[in-house]
Homo-oligomer: A and B are copies of this chain.
Amino acid sequence: MYCLLKFAPLFLALAVCNGWLFGDFVEKQKELEEIALWPLPQKFQSSAASFKLSHASFQIVHSKQSTAGPSCSLLENAFRRYFEYIFGDMKKQEKSRKKVYDSDLAELQVWITSADPECDGYPSLQTDESYELSVDQPSAVLKAANVWGALRGLETFSQLVYEDDYGVNNINKTDISDFPRFAHRGILLDTSRHFLPLKVILANLEAMAINKFNVFHWHIVDDPSFPYVSRTFPELSQNGAYHPFTHVYTPSDVKMVIEFARMRGIRVIPEFDTPGHTQSWGNGIRDLLTPCYSGSSPSGSFGPVNPILNSSYDFMTQFFKEISTVFPDAYIHLGGDEVDFSCWKSNPDVQKFMAQQGFGTDYSKLESFYIQKLLDIVTSTKKGYMVWQEVFDNGVKLKADTQIHVWKEKQYQDEMAQVTAAGFSALLSSPWYLNRISYGQDWVDIYKADPQNFTGTDAQKKLVIGGEACLWGEYVDATNLTPRLWPRASAVAERLWSDKSVVDVGNAYTRLVQHRCRMVKRGIPAEPLFVGHCRQEYKGL
Protein backbone atom coordinates (compact mmCIF):
# COMPACT_ATOMS: atom_id res chain seq x y z
CA MET A 1 0.00 0.00 0.00
CA TYR A 2 0.87 3.59 -0.10
CA CYS A 3 2.11 5.95 2.50
CA LEU A 4 0.45 9.31 2.29
CA LEU A 5 2.63 10.79 4.96
CA LYS A 6 5.90 9.65 3.51
CA PHE A 7 5.65 11.60 0.30
CA ALA A 8 3.16 14.33 0.93
CA PRO A 9 4.25 17.83 1.85
CA LEU A 10 1.34 18.12 4.20
CA PHE A 11 2.17 21.66 5.14
CA LEU A 12 0.93 22.52 1.70
CA ALA A 13 -2.14 20.39 1.81
CA LEU A 14 -3.16 21.91 5.08
CA ALA A 15 -2.19 25.45 4.27
CA VAL A 16 -5.08 27.56 5.33
CA CYS A 17 -6.38 30.45 3.33
CA ASN A 18 -5.56 33.45 5.37
CA GLY A 19 -3.73 36.65 5.31
CA TRP A 20 -3.58 37.20 1.59
CA LEU A 21 -6.46 39.57 1.16
CA PHE A 22 -5.46 42.94 2.39
CA GLY A 23 -8.94 44.36 2.25
CA ASP A 24 -10.44 46.01 5.32
CA PHE A 25 -13.64 44.08 5.77
CA VAL A 26 -12.56 40.53 5.22
CA GLU A 27 -15.08 38.38 6.99
CA LYS A 28 -16.27 35.25 5.31
CA GLN A 29 -13.61 32.59 4.91
CA LYS A 30 -15.71 30.69 2.41
CA GLU A 31 -16.06 33.56 0.04
CA LEU A 32 -12.41 34.40 0.27
CA GLU A 33 -11.58 30.90 -0.78
CA GLU A 34 -13.72 31.36 -3.83
CA ILE A 35 -11.88 34.51 -4.86
CA ALA A 36 -8.56 32.97 -5.75
CA LEU A 37 -6.87 35.44 -8.05
CA TRP A 38 -4.01 34.09 -10.15
CA PRO A 39 -1.62 35.70 -10.82
CA LEU A 40 -2.08 37.99 -7.83
CA PRO A 41 -2.68 41.62 -8.86
CA GLN A 42 -0.24 44.33 -7.86
CA LYS A 43 -2.70 46.29 -5.78
CA PHE A 44 -5.86 44.82 -4.45
CA GLN A 45 -8.55 45.95 -2.04
CA SER A 46 -11.69 44.03 -1.34
CA SER A 47 -14.54 44.30 1.10
CA ALA A 48 -17.09 41.79 2.32
CA ALA A 49 -19.88 43.75 0.62
CA SER A 50 -21.05 41.45 -2.15
CA PHE A 51 -23.23 41.98 -5.19
CA LYS A 52 -25.35 39.42 -6.98
CA LEU A 53 -24.99 38.97 -10.72
CA SER A 54 -27.81 37.61 -12.87
CA HIS A 55 -27.04 36.26 -16.31
CA ALA A 56 -30.36 37.64 -17.44
CA SER A 57 -29.48 41.24 -16.76
CA PHE A 58 -25.76 41.62 -16.23
CA GLN A 59 -23.83 42.98 -19.16
CA ILE A 60 -20.29 43.70 -20.20
CA VAL A 61 -20.37 46.92 -22.23
CA HIS A 62 -18.18 49.63 -23.67
CA SER A 63 -18.26 52.65 -21.42
CA LYS A 64 -19.49 55.84 -23.02
CA GLN A 65 -16.12 57.51 -22.70
CA SER A 66 -14.30 54.57 -24.27
CA THR A 67 -12.43 55.04 -27.51
CA ALA A 68 -13.44 51.48 -28.40
CA GLY A 69 -16.96 50.51 -29.38
CA PRO A 70 -18.94 47.68 -30.94
CA SER A 71 -16.73 47.74 -34.00
CA CYS A 72 -13.85 46.50 -31.85
CA SER A 73 -14.30 42.80 -32.52
CA LEU A 74 -11.38 41.86 -30.29
CA LEU A 75 -13.23 43.30 -27.30
CA GLU A 76 -16.64 42.08 -28.44
CA ASN A 77 -15.22 38.57 -28.59
CA ALA A 78 -13.61 38.96 -25.21
CA PHE A 79 -16.86 40.22 -23.68
CA ARG A 80 -18.64 37.12 -24.95
CA ARG A 81 -15.86 34.80 -23.83
CA TYR A 82 -15.77 36.16 -20.29
CA PHE A 83 -19.54 36.36 -20.03
CA GLU A 84 -19.63 32.65 -20.79
CA TYR A 85 -16.83 31.90 -18.33
CA ILE A 86 -18.82 33.69 -15.66
CA PHE A 87 -22.30 32.41 -16.42
CA GLY A 88 -21.66 29.22 -18.38
CA ASP A 89 -22.66 28.49 -21.94
CA MET A 90 -25.83 30.51 -22.53
CA LYS A 91 -26.86 28.22 -25.35
CA LYS A 92 -27.52 25.55 -22.77
CA GLN A 93 -29.60 27.88 -20.64
CA GLU A 94 -33.07 29.29 -21.20
CA LYS A 95 -32.94 31.55 -24.17
CA SER A 96 -35.79 33.76 -23.05
CA ARG A 97 -34.55 36.80 -21.25
CA LYS A 98 -38.07 38.07 -20.70
CA LYS A 99 -38.11 37.46 -17.01
CA VAL A 100 -35.29 39.72 -16.04
CA TYR A 101 -33.80 39.25 -12.62
CA ASP A 102 -32.04 42.22 -11.26
CA SER A 103 -28.34 42.19 -10.77
CA ASP A 104 -26.99 44.15 -7.83
CA LEU A 105 -24.37 45.12 -10.31
CA ALA A 106 -25.88 46.05 -13.66
CA GLU A 107 -22.80 45.98 -15.80
CA LEU A 108 -19.10 46.02 -16.26
CA GLN A 109 -18.10 49.08 -18.24
CA VAL A 110 -14.91 48.74 -20.21
CA TRP A 111 -13.23 52.05 -20.74
CA ILE A 112 -10.34 52.33 -23.18
CA THR A 113 -8.59 55.65 -22.74
CA SER A 114 -6.01 55.88 -25.54
CA ALA A 115 -6.89 57.57 -28.79
CA ASP A 116 -6.02 54.29 -30.51
CA PRO A 117 -7.49 51.33 -28.65
CA GLU A 118 -5.42 48.97 -30.86
CA CYS A 119 -8.41 46.77 -31.68
CA ASP A 120 -6.82 45.56 -34.87
CA GLY A 121 -3.23 45.76 -33.74
CA TYR A 122 -0.83 43.25 -32.30
CA PRO A 123 0.62 43.24 -28.81
CA SER A 124 4.33 43.92 -28.54
CA LEU A 125 7.15 44.03 -26.03
CA GLN A 126 6.26 47.68 -25.37
CA THR A 127 2.56 47.05 -24.86
CA ASP A 128 1.00 48.64 -21.81
CA GLU A 129 -0.95 45.83 -20.15
CA SER A 130 -1.96 47.76 -17.06
CA TYR A 131 -5.57 48.20 -16.02
CA GLU A 132 -7.69 49.49 -13.20
CA LEU A 133 -10.76 47.70 -12.02
CA SER A 134 -13.35 49.07 -9.68
CA VAL A 135 -16.26 46.90 -8.65
CA ASP A 136 -19.02 48.87 -6.95
CA GLN A 137 -22.66 49.74 -7.40
CA PRO A 138 -24.19 50.52 -9.75
CA SER A 139 -21.51 49.53 -12.26
CA ALA A 140 -18.09 47.99 -12.28
CA VAL A 141 -15.54 49.90 -14.32
CA LEU A 142 -12.50 48.49 -16.06
CA LYS A 143 -10.14 51.17 -17.27
CA ALA A 144 -7.17 50.52 -19.54
CA ALA A 145 -5.12 52.43 -22.05
CA ASN A 146 -5.84 49.90 -24.75
CA VAL A 147 -7.46 46.56 -25.47
CA TRP A 148 -4.46 44.63 -24.13
CA GLY A 149 -4.86 45.94 -20.61
CA ALA A 150 -8.61 45.44 -20.92
CA LEU A 151 -8.08 41.73 -21.72
CA ARG A 152 -6.03 41.30 -18.56
CA GLY A 153 -8.66 43.14 -16.54
CA LEU A 154 -11.49 41.05 -17.96
CA GLU A 155 -9.69 37.90 -16.86
CA THR A 156 -9.28 39.36 -13.37
CA PHE A 157 -12.94 40.39 -13.26
CA SER A 158 -14.02 36.87 -14.20
CA GLN A 159 -11.80 35.48 -11.43
CA LEU A 160 -13.49 37.75 -8.88
CA VAL A 161 -16.90 36.22 -9.50
CA TYR A 162 -17.80 33.27 -7.28
CA GLU A 163 -20.83 31.08 -6.80
CA ASP A 164 -22.54 31.04 -3.43
CA ASP A 165 -24.25 27.94 -2.02
CA TYR A 166 -27.36 28.65 -4.07
CA GLY A 167 -25.37 28.72 -7.29
CA VAL A 168 -25.82 32.49 -7.52
CA ASN A 169 -22.90 34.45 -8.91
CA ASN A 170 -21.52 37.02 -6.52
CA ILE A 171 -18.78 39.57 -6.66
CA ASN A 172 -17.37 41.61 -3.81
CA LYS A 173 -16.74 45.33 -3.74
CA THR A 174 -13.19 45.50 -5.02
CA ASP A 175 -10.53 47.90 -6.24
CA ILE A 176 -7.64 46.68 -8.28
CA SER A 177 -4.75 48.45 -9.91
CA ASP A 178 -2.63 46.03 -11.83
CA PHE A 179 0.28 45.73 -14.23
CA PRO A 180 2.86 43.05 -15.05
CA ARG A 181 6.25 42.93 -13.39
CA PHE A 182 7.84 41.69 -16.63
CA ALA A 183 6.95 42.50 -20.23
CA HIS A 184 7.84 39.12 -21.70
CA ARG A 185 5.95 36.17 -20.17
CA GLY A 186 6.16 33.22 -22.45
CA ILE A 187 5.42 29.57 -23.06
CA LEU A 188 7.53 27.52 -25.46
CA LEU A 189 5.86 24.62 -27.23
CA ASP A 190 7.82 22.28 -29.49
CA THR A 191 5.93 21.03 -32.54
CA SER A 192 8.83 19.21 -34.13
CA ARG A 193 9.61 16.30 -31.79
CA HIS A 194 5.89 15.59 -31.73
CA PHE A 195 3.32 17.20 -33.94
CA LEU A 196 0.68 19.06 -31.96
CA PRO A 197 -2.77 19.29 -33.54
CA LEU A 198 -4.08 22.84 -33.92
CA LYS A 199 -6.73 22.13 -31.29
CA VAL A 200 -4.02 21.52 -28.69
CA ILE A 201 -2.17 24.72 -29.54
CA LEU A 202 -5.34 26.79 -29.35
CA ALA A 203 -6.37 25.25 -26.03
CA ASN A 204 -2.98 26.14 -24.60
CA LEU A 205 -3.24 29.70 -25.90
CA GLU A 206 -6.52 29.89 -24.03
CA ALA A 207 -4.83 28.57 -20.87
CA MET A 208 -2.07 31.12 -21.38
CA ALA A 209 -4.60 33.95 -21.45
CA ILE A 210 -6.18 32.66 -18.25
CA ASN A 211 -2.71 32.93 -16.68
CA LYS A 212 -1.87 36.30 -18.26
CA PHE A 213 0.97 34.92 -20.36
CA ASN A 214 1.63 37.08 -23.38
CA VAL A 215 4.17 35.28 -25.60
CA PHE A 216 3.78 32.02 -27.45
CA HIS A 217 7.31 30.95 -28.39
CA TRP A 218 6.60 28.52 -31.19
CA HIS A 219 9.55 26.16 -31.54
CA ILE A 220 8.00 25.05 -34.78
CA VAL A 221 10.73 23.02 -36.47
CA ASP A 222 13.79 21.05 -35.33
CA ASP A 223 15.75 17.92 -36.21
CA PRO A 224 12.93 15.37 -36.16
CA SER A 225 10.34 17.12 -38.33
CA PHE A 226 9.51 20.27 -40.25
CA PRO A 227 5.75 20.81 -39.99
CA TYR A 228 5.78 24.47 -41.14
CA VAL A 229 4.42 24.75 -44.68
CA SER A 230 6.53 27.34 -46.48
CA ARG A 231 5.05 29.02 -49.53
CA THR A 232 8.52 29.72 -50.87
CA PHE A 233 9.95 26.27 -50.16
CA PRO A 234 7.04 23.82 -49.95
CA GLU A 235 9.50 20.93 -50.21
CA LEU A 236 10.61 21.66 -46.64
CA SER A 237 7.43 20.24 -45.13
CA GLN A 238 6.73 18.01 -48.11
CA ASN A 239 9.86 16.04 -47.27
CA GLY A 240 10.57 17.14 -43.73
CA ALA A 241 7.24 16.74 -41.91
CA TYR A 242 6.19 13.47 -40.31
CA HIS A 243 3.43 13.46 -42.91
CA PRO A 244 3.02 16.12 -45.61
CA PHE A 245 -0.75 16.46 -45.14
CA THR A 246 -1.72 15.32 -41.67
CA HIS A 247 1.30 16.54 -39.70
CA VAL A 248 1.82 20.08 -41.00
CA TYR A 249 0.79 23.67 -40.28
CA THR A 250 -0.56 25.25 -43.44
CA PRO A 251 -0.42 29.02 -43.97
CA SER A 252 -4.04 29.19 -42.85
CA ASP A 253 -3.28 27.14 -39.72
CA VAL A 254 -0.49 29.56 -38.86
CA LYS A 255 -2.78 32.53 -39.45
CA MET A 256 -5.37 30.99 -37.19
CA VAL A 257 -2.83 30.51 -34.39
CA ILE A 258 -1.65 34.12 -34.74
CA GLU A 259 -5.18 35.51 -34.76
CA PHE A 260 -6.39 33.32 -31.88
CA ALA A 261 -3.35 34.50 -29.91
CA ARG A 262 -3.84 38.15 -30.86
CA MET A 263 -7.43 38.04 -29.62
CA ARG A 264 -5.98 37.08 -26.24
CA GLY A 265 -3.14 39.59 -26.20
CA ILE A 266 -0.52 36.97 -26.96
CA ARG A 267 2.44 37.50 -29.27
CA VAL A 268 3.52 34.62 -31.47
CA ILE A 269 7.30 34.42 -31.81
CA PRO A 270 8.38 31.65 -34.14
CA GLU A 271 11.72 29.97 -33.71
CA PHE A 272 13.63 28.75 -36.72
CA ASP A 273 16.73 27.39 -35.09
CA THR A 274 19.93 27.25 -37.20
CA PRO A 275 22.64 26.23 -37.96
CA GLY A 276 22.16 23.19 -35.68
CA HIS A 277 18.90 21.34 -35.02
CA THR A 278 18.21 21.34 -38.76
CA GLN A 279 18.22 17.67 -39.81
CA SER A 280 14.64 17.88 -41.08
CA TRP A 281 15.49 20.93 -43.23
CA GLY A 282 17.97 18.81 -45.16
CA ASN A 283 15.24 16.54 -46.46
CA GLY A 284 13.75 19.36 -48.47
CA ILE A 285 16.70 21.57 -49.44
CA ARG A 286 19.55 20.06 -51.38
CA ASP A 287 23.05 21.05 -50.20
CA LEU A 288 21.73 23.05 -47.26
CA LEU A 289 23.38 20.84 -44.67
CA THR A 290 27.08 20.08 -44.36
CA PRO A 291 28.02 16.61 -45.66
CA CYS A 292 29.91 14.78 -42.94
CA TYR A 293 32.98 12.78 -43.89
CA SER A 294 34.22 9.46 -42.69
CA GLY A 295 37.91 9.60 -43.50
CA SER A 296 38.27 10.93 -47.03
CA SER A 297 34.76 10.24 -48.30
CA PRO A 298 31.27 11.49 -47.40
CA SER A 299 29.62 9.30 -44.75
CA GLY A 300 26.12 9.88 -46.05
CA SER A 301 25.06 11.77 -42.95
CA PHE A 302 24.76 15.52 -42.56
CA GLY A 303 25.62 18.11 -39.96
CA PRO A 304 24.58 21.72 -39.35
CA VAL A 305 23.75 24.18 -42.13
CA ASN A 306 26.72 24.43 -44.49
CA PRO A 307 28.29 27.79 -43.60
CA ILE A 308 30.77 27.90 -46.49
CA LEU A 309 28.30 27.99 -49.39
CA ASN A 310 26.71 31.17 -50.70
CA SER A 311 23.66 29.08 -51.54
CA SER A 312 23.01 28.59 -47.83
CA TYR A 313 22.76 32.36 -47.32
CA ASP A 314 20.68 32.82 -50.45
CA PHE A 315 18.26 30.27 -49.07
CA MET A 316 18.15 31.91 -45.63
CA THR A 317 17.54 35.29 -47.23
CA GLN A 318 14.50 34.04 -49.10
CA PHE A 319 13.27 31.92 -46.24
CA PHE A 320 13.44 34.61 -43.58
CA LYS A 321 11.90 37.10 -45.96
CA GLU A 322 8.85 34.84 -45.98
CA ILE A 323 8.94 34.31 -42.21
CA SER A 324 9.15 38.05 -41.61
CA THR A 325 5.90 38.58 -43.50
CA VAL A 326 4.02 35.54 -42.17
CA PHE A 327 4.67 36.39 -38.51
CA PRO A 328 3.70 39.94 -37.55
CA ASP A 329 5.70 40.11 -34.33
CA ALA A 330 8.74 42.37 -34.28
CA TYR A 331 10.92 39.51 -33.06
CA ILE A 332 12.02 36.18 -34.47
CA HIS A 333 13.83 33.58 -32.40
CA LEU A 334 16.88 32.42 -34.33
CA GLY A 335 18.02 29.63 -32.06
CA GLY A 336 21.76 29.24 -32.44
CA ASP A 337 22.17 26.65 -29.71
CA GLU A 338 24.07 23.40 -29.44
CA VAL A 339 26.02 23.47 -32.67
CA ASP A 340 27.94 20.21 -33.01
CA PHE A 341 31.33 20.83 -34.63
CA SER A 342 32.26 17.22 -35.39
CA CYS A 343 30.70 17.19 -38.85
CA TRP A 344 32.25 20.51 -39.85
CA LYS A 345 35.61 19.23 -38.62
CA SER A 346 35.30 16.09 -40.76
CA ASN A 347 34.61 17.97 -43.99
CA PRO A 348 37.72 18.85 -46.09
CA ASP A 349 35.98 21.78 -47.83
CA VAL A 350 35.10 23.27 -44.47
CA GLN A 351 38.67 22.73 -43.31
CA LYS A 352 39.93 24.61 -46.36
CA PHE A 353 37.48 27.44 -45.73
CA MET A 354 38.64 27.68 -42.12
CA ALA A 355 42.20 28.08 -43.30
CA GLN A 356 41.25 30.72 -45.89
CA GLN A 357 39.38 32.72 -43.28
CA GLY A 358 42.21 32.39 -40.80
CA PHE A 359 39.97 30.72 -38.22
CA GLY A 360 42.66 28.18 -37.33
CA THR A 361 40.89 25.26 -35.67
CA ASP A 362 38.45 27.38 -33.67
CA TYR A 363 35.12 26.23 -35.06
CA SER A 364 33.22 28.61 -32.83
CA LYS A 365 34.62 31.28 -35.16
CA LEU A 366 32.94 29.51 -38.06
CA GLU A 367 29.74 29.35 -36.07
CA SER A 368 29.98 33.07 -35.38
CA PHE A 369 30.69 33.68 -39.06
CA TYR A 370 27.43 31.95 -39.94
CA ILE A 371 25.40 33.60 -37.20
CA GLN A 372 26.75 37.02 -38.11
CA LYS A 373 25.63 36.63 -41.69
CA LEU A 374 22.26 35.28 -40.58
CA LEU A 375 21.72 38.22 -38.23
CA ASP A 376 22.44 40.60 -41.09
CA ILE A 377 19.91 38.80 -43.24
CA VAL A 378 17.23 38.97 -40.57
CA THR A 379 18.06 42.60 -39.77
CA SER A 380 17.40 43.44 -43.40
CA THR A 381 13.83 42.15 -42.90
CA LYS A 382 13.43 44.78 -40.16
CA LYS A 383 12.91 42.18 -37.47
CA GLY A 384 14.53 42.04 -34.09
CA TYR A 385 15.86 38.75 -32.88
CA MET A 386 16.11 36.52 -29.89
CA VAL A 387 18.87 33.94 -29.60
CA TRP A 388 19.82 31.18 -27.17
CA GLN A 389 22.65 32.04 -24.81
CA GLU A 390 25.41 30.29 -26.80
CA VAL A 391 25.33 33.03 -29.40
CA PHE A 392 26.21 35.54 -26.70
CA ASP A 393 28.64 33.15 -25.01
CA ASN A 394 30.52 32.73 -28.30
CA GLY A 395 31.02 36.44 -28.65
CA VAL A 396 29.01 37.02 -31.80
CA LYS A 397 28.54 40.71 -32.52
CA LEU A 398 24.94 41.49 -31.74
CA LYS A 399 22.60 44.42 -32.27
CA ALA A 400 21.95 46.33 -29.08
CA ASP A 401 18.32 45.26 -28.96
CA THR A 402 19.09 41.53 -29.18
CA GLN A 403 17.40 39.43 -26.55
CA ILE A 404 19.49 36.67 -25.00
CA HIS A 405 17.58 33.61 -23.92
CA VAL A 406 19.24 31.95 -20.93
CA TRP A 407 18.48 28.24 -20.78
CA LYS A 408 21.42 26.30 -19.38
CA GLU A 409 20.80 25.12 -15.86
CA LYS A 410 24.30 25.48 -14.52
CA GLN A 411 25.04 28.85 -12.93
CA TYR A 412 22.25 30.57 -14.73
CA GLN A 413 22.36 33.47 -12.32
CA ASP A 414 25.93 34.19 -13.43
CA GLU A 415 24.84 34.05 -17.04
CA MET A 416 22.03 36.49 -16.38
CA ALA A 417 24.54 38.82 -14.74
CA GLN A 418 26.95 38.59 -17.66
CA VAL A 419 24.33 39.09 -20.33
CA THR A 420 22.91 42.16 -18.63
CA ALA A 421 26.34 43.49 -17.75
CA ALA A 422 27.05 43.47 -21.47
CA GLY A 423 23.95 45.61 -21.91
CA PHE A 424 21.70 43.03 -23.54
CA SER A 425 18.13 42.22 -22.68
CA ALA A 426 17.85 38.88 -20.93
CA LEU A 427 15.13 36.29 -20.77
CA LEU A 428 15.18 33.37 -18.32
CA SER A 429 14.14 29.77 -18.90
CA SER A 430 16.73 27.70 -17.00
CA PRO A 431 14.58 26.87 -13.94
CA TRP A 432 11.47 26.51 -16.07
CA TYR A 433 12.10 23.51 -18.31
CA LEU A 434 8.74 22.01 -17.52
CA ASN A 435 9.35 18.97 -19.70
CA ARG A 436 11.55 17.78 -16.82
CA ILE A 437 9.27 16.08 -14.35
CA SER A 438 9.70 14.53 -10.94
CA TYR A 439 7.42 12.99 -8.38
CA GLY A 440 5.48 15.30 -6.10
CA GLN A 441 4.83 19.02 -5.97
CA ASP A 442 7.56 20.33 -8.21
CA TRP A 443 5.66 23.57 -8.80
CA VAL A 444 7.17 24.92 -5.58
CA ASP A 445 10.71 25.20 -6.94
CA ILE A 446 9.34 26.54 -10.21
CA TYR A 447 7.51 29.18 -8.20
CA LYS A 448 10.53 30.13 -6.10
CA ALA A 449 12.84 30.93 -9.03
CA ASP A 450 13.18 34.63 -9.79
CA PRO A 451 14.70 36.08 -12.98
CA GLN A 452 16.18 39.02 -11.10
CA ASN A 453 17.83 36.86 -8.48
CA PHE A 454 21.43 37.51 -9.49
CA THR A 455 24.17 39.90 -8.48
CA GLY A 456 23.96 43.05 -10.54
CA THR A 457 23.08 46.72 -10.65
CA ASP A 458 19.60 48.13 -10.92
CA ALA A 459 20.33 48.90 -14.54
CA GLN A 460 21.16 45.25 -15.10
CA LYS A 461 17.96 44.12 -13.38
CA LYS A 462 15.98 46.38 -15.67
CA LEU A 463 17.39 44.55 -18.67
CA VAL A 464 15.57 41.39 -17.56
CA ILE A 465 12.51 41.46 -19.77
CA GLY A 466 11.00 38.28 -18.38
CA GLY A 467 11.08 34.56 -18.95
CA GLU A 468 9.54 31.55 -20.58
CA ALA A 469 8.31 28.19 -19.41
CA CYS A 470 9.56 25.62 -21.92
CA LEU A 471 7.90 22.32 -22.65
CA TRP A 472 10.27 20.48 -24.97
CA GLY A 473 8.55 17.80 -26.96
CA GLU A 474 10.52 14.57 -26.48
CA TYR A 475 7.92 13.04 -24.20
CA VAL A 476 4.75 15.00 -24.84
CA ASP A 477 2.10 15.17 -27.51
CA ALA A 478 -1.64 15.71 -27.70
CA THR A 479 -2.20 12.90 -25.19
CA ASN A 480 -0.38 14.43 -22.21
CA LEU A 481 0.91 17.91 -23.00
CA THR A 482 -1.83 20.05 -21.48
CA PRO A 483 -2.03 18.45 -18.01
CA ARG A 484 1.77 18.32 -17.83
CA LEU A 485 2.02 22.04 -18.56
CA TRP A 486 -0.81 23.26 -16.33
CA PRO A 487 -0.91 24.28 -13.56
CA ARG A 488 2.91 23.99 -13.34
CA ALA A 489 3.28 26.84 -15.83
CA SER A 490 0.89 28.86 -13.68
CA ALA A 491 3.67 29.07 -11.10
CA VAL A 492 5.82 30.81 -13.73
CA ALA A 493 2.89 33.03 -14.67
CA GLU A 494 2.61 34.48 -11.19
CA ARG A 495 6.37 34.90 -10.85
CA LEU A 496 6.44 36.95 -14.05
CA TRP A 497 3.33 39.01 -13.42
CA SER A 498 2.98 39.65 -9.69
CA ASP A 499 5.11 41.78 -7.43
CA LYS A 500 8.41 40.23 -6.43
CA SER A 501 7.22 40.20 -2.81
CA VAL A 502 4.59 37.59 -3.66
CA VAL A 503 6.51 34.52 -2.49
CA ASP A 504 4.37 32.83 0.17
CA VAL A 505 4.14 29.20 -0.95
CA GLY A 506 1.33 28.26 1.43
CA ASN A 507 -0.79 31.13 0.21
CA ALA A 508 0.06 30.36 -3.39
CA TYR A 509 -0.95 26.72 -2.87
CA THR A 510 -4.40 27.70 -1.64
CA ARG A 511 -5.00 29.98 -4.59
CA LEU A 512 -3.42 27.67 -7.15
CA VAL A 513 -5.63 24.75 -6.13
CA GLN A 514 -8.64 26.87 -6.93
CA HIS A 515 -7.10 28.37 -10.02
CA ARG A 516 -6.49 24.90 -11.43
CA CYS A 517 -10.12 23.99 -10.72
CA ARG A 518 -11.08 27.15 -12.60
CA MET A 519 -9.02 25.99 -15.57
CA VAL A 520 -10.67 22.57 -15.38
CA LYS A 521 -14.08 24.21 -15.30
CA ARG A 522 -13.09 26.12 -18.43
CA GLY A 523 -12.21 22.90 -20.22
CA ILE A 524 -8.43 22.87 -19.68
CA PRO A 525 -7.28 19.52 -18.26
CA ALA A 526 -4.89 21.03 -15.71
CA GLU A 527 -3.58 18.30 -13.41
CA PRO A 528 -4.16 18.30 -9.65
CA LEU A 529 -1.56 19.67 -7.25
CA PHE A 530 -2.41 17.16 -4.56
CA VAL A 531 -5.24 15.19 -2.94
CA GLY A 532 -8.63 16.85 -3.26
CA HIS A 533 -11.37 17.59 -5.72
CA CYS A 534 -12.97 20.24 -7.88
CA ARG A 535 -16.63 21.05 -7.74
CA GLN A 536 -16.68 20.42 -11.48
CA GLU A 537 -14.24 17.70 -12.49
CA TYR A 538 -12.75 17.37 -15.95
CA LYS A 539 -15.31 15.96 -18.34
CA GLY A 540 -12.95 14.66 -21.01
CA LEU A 541 -10.62 11.74 -20.78
Contacts and interface: CB of A to CB of B under 8 A. Distances in A.
A387 to B, nearest CB: 10
A439 B438 contact: yes
Interface size bracket, A side: 35 or more
Interface string A503-541: 000000000000000001001011111111101011111
Interface in A409-433: 433
A203 B541 contact: yes
A405 B520 CA distance: 35
Residue of A388, A437, A474, A527 ringed by the most chain B CB atoms within 10 A: A474
A478 to B, nearest CB: 4
B337 A1 contact: yes
Nearest to A241: B533
A541 B527 contact: no
Contacts of A346: none
Given A437-B437, A439-B436, A531 B473 contact: yes
Looking at chain A's contact residues, is the secondary structure mostly helix, strand, loop, or mixed?
loop
A493 B390 CA distance: 44
Contact of A483 (B3, B407, B439, B480): B480
A184 to B, nearest CB: 17
A224 B530 CA distance: 11
A338 B199 CA distance: 45
Contacts of A338: 1-3
A360 interface: no
A181 interface: no
A163 interface: no
Given A437-B438, A541-B482, A4 B527 contact: no
Contacts of A438: 437-439
B527 A477 contact: yes
A246 to B, nearest CB: 8
Residue of A4, A438, A526 ringed by the most chain B CB atoms within 10 A: A4
Residue of A7, A528, A541 ringed by the most chain B CB atoms within 10 A: A541
Contacts of A535: 243, 246
A200 to B, nearest CB: 6
A440 interface: yes
B532 A224 contact: yes
B199 A541 contact: yes
A390 B528 CA distance: 30
Interface string A312-338: 000000000000000000000001011
A390 B483 CA distance: 35
Residue of A194, A470, A483 ringed by the most chain B CB atoms within 10 A: A483
Residue of A193, A476, A530 ringed by the most chain B CB atoms within 10 A: A193
A258 to B, nearest CB: 21
Contacts of A407: 1-2
Contacts of A520: 479
A77 to B, nearest CB: 21
A470 to B, nearest CB: 7
B538 A193 contact: no
Contact of A474 (B247, B335, B530): B530
Interface string A186-208: 00001001110101100100000
Contacts of A479: 483, 520, 525-528, 538
Contacts of A474: 4, 7-8, 530-531
20 contacts: A1-B273, A2-B407, A2-B470, A3-B338, A4-B193, A193-B531, A195-B537, A197-B539, A200-B541, A247-B533, A247-B537, A437-B438, A440-B475, A473-B531, A476-B527, A478-B541, A479-B483, A482-B541, A525-B541, A540-B541
